[in-house]
Amino acid sequence: MLLQTDYDHENRQMCPGPAERSRADARRAQILAAAVDCFRQHGFHGASIAQISKAAGMSPGHIYHYFENKEAIISAIVAGDLERFLILTSEIRSACNVREAMLDRVAEGIDQCLDHQTAGLKLEIVAEASRNPHVAEIVRSADKVCRESLMLTMRDMRRAAGHEDDDATLAAMVEVFVSMFEGLQIRTIRNPGIDRSVVIPLFQHSLRALLDQTP
């Protein structure tokens, strides 16, 4: 939803149907998929429009019908990435036993962080955010939403266990919680031989200690 220039031009007689409503949206998705591929392989600045256009099966010039410039493609990818993350957190939040749902899904989260391709692009995005103010703003505002969602989740979880924490403590819990996962993205680059099956139980142990801590 973010960053989608309203471009609907009457929208094909009311059928928002099958994920790709208009030809324009299909082309847009096609470009984004190709760009993700290229950015993974060469980085934001290493990948050229020529490469992306070749991967997307169209001419370089044609890309500019759908995106204002290269940075707009980057922004769209970042926005899509974070939209997906928001969906994940809202899924966790809607589970009946949130604490167990969280711990159960740790393995899934770890596997996602350990995926080399995914991790590479995520790191590329953060590195870009550390110097590109426009990307930084997208990343930070979405991160804020994610943190707030996680804070609410944790407050419920802690209340159910009889703890009442102030906001600062909850925020810190969220930071440490997220740190561990995001750190794994770096780990998988620096040590591709990491053994997931041994890391998972340790991870769960540490998370339990974090979530159950008494101040």
Partner DNA sequence: CATTCTAGATCGAACGCTCATTCTATGTTA
Partner DNA sequence: TAACATAGAATGAGCGTTCGATCTAGAATG
Query: Smaller CB distance to DNA: residue 60 or 109?
Result: 60
Please report whether residue 47 would count as binding DNA according to CB under 7 A. Answer: yes
Quick check: 85 binds DNA (CB under 7 A)? Answer: no
Alpha-carbon span 43 to 56, nearest angstrom: 17
CB of 197 to a copy of itself, least distance (A): 9
Q: Which of residues 12-31 bind DNA (CB under 7 A)?
A: 23-24, 27
Residue 127 near which of a copy of itself, DNA, none (CB within 5-8 Å, type-dependent): a copy of itself
Q: What amino acid is encoded at 86 in this protein?
A: L
Does the footprint of DNA cover residue 84 (CB under 7 A)?
no
Question: Distances in Å between the alpha carbon of 146 and those of 16, 18, 62, 91, 171?
Answer: 28, 28, 35, 12, 11
User: Rule CB under 8 A: which residues touch a copy of itself?
Assistant: 40-43, 45-46, 116, 119-120, 123-124, 126-131, 136, 139-140, 143-144, 147, 168-169, 171-173, 175-176, 178-187, 189-192, 194-195, 198-199, 202-203, 205-206, 208-210, 213
What's the one-letter identity of residue 101? A
User: According to the binding rule CB under 7 A, does residue 51 interact with DNA?
Assistant: yes
The per-residue b/e assignment along 19-55, b for 16 or more CB within 10 angstroms, e otherwise, is eeebeebebbbbbbebbbbbbbeeebeebebebbbeb
